[in-house]
Structure 1
């Protein structure tokens, strides 16, 4: 049976951030920690060795595959900072047009630093992702 690699852990978010070598990336991780915490209202938790997640939901696909994942998360990786949101839709794409310097994939948006983006749009992307996932995967279903 498939085993999820990224699970919630008891590891310290602050200890993880403090281990980031690059001072600018560490500072941005703290900024994102504040933005995500304030916007979601959820405490930060480590998911796997390198993802800081907020809230969680349980998903179950038609294939039978199921698991738990954070509603939104970020990871201050060496090359870029990864921001994880629910997969895109038209509203998300419209927001990303004015987001600032980034690249994006299916569920990820990659930035170099927080100064490159519009923080108000980031907050809206977080709110939109949380709303979408809570509607798609209601608790107790």
Structure 2
């Protein structure tokens, strides 16, 4: 995946429902603060920083270090180190569902933002340290 050069504010403005726009603005500010990086659009994902990842299987690609997508059904928060790495914190997060590397949040106002901040900080630190067995990460910015 590559940055598209699209406008972050435009992507957020086009997000529906309105709750998704509100949550996207909050997450953009939170992730910018946590990462110290500007938001960049990667397709339909708003990412912060960039890296090249490689699995032992040979699968590789480029993505943001942390990021989210304001999808219609729920906001998707991407964690390179996966949700299992944050099981204890995620149990305290509030209403959500999860996939292998994603949190799906329907309403950010129902989530404990301090818990989410901690998850993002730990995931970012993991990525910036180069990942671990199972995934190698080369930080680009």
* TM category, shorter: 0.7 to 0.9
| C-alpha distance after superposition, 1:43-90 (max 9, x if no partner) | 000011x11111111122333332211111111111111111121344
What corresponds to 1:46 in structure 2?
41
Equivalent-residue separation in structure 1 for 2:83 and 2:24 (angstroms): 23
Equivalent-residue separation in structure 1 for 2:138 and 2:37 (angstroms): 17
Show structure 1 runs of 5+ residues with no match.
Answer: 1-5
Q: Is 1:104 the counterpart of 2:123 in the alignment?
A: no
How is 1:47-62 mapped onto 2 (pairs within 5 angstroms)? Answer: 47-48=42-43, 50-62=44-56
Q: 1:35 aligns with which of 16, 26, 30?
A: 30
Q: Give yes or no for contact 2:70–2:76 (8 Å, CA) kept in 1.
A: yes
Higher relative contact order (CA 8 A, sep 6+): 2
| C-alpha distance after superposition, 1:75-124 (max 9, x if no partner) | 1111111111121344x000001000111110000111111100011111
TM-score, normalised via structure 2 length: 0.87
**Which of the pair has more CA radius of gyration?**
1
SS of alignment partner, residue 99 of structure 1 = coil
TM-score, normalised via structure 1 length: 0.87
Count the aligned residue pairs: 133
| C-alpha distance after superposition, 1:17-64 (max 9, x if no partner) | 11124222211111111111111111000011x111111111223333
What corresponds to 1:10 in structure 2?
5
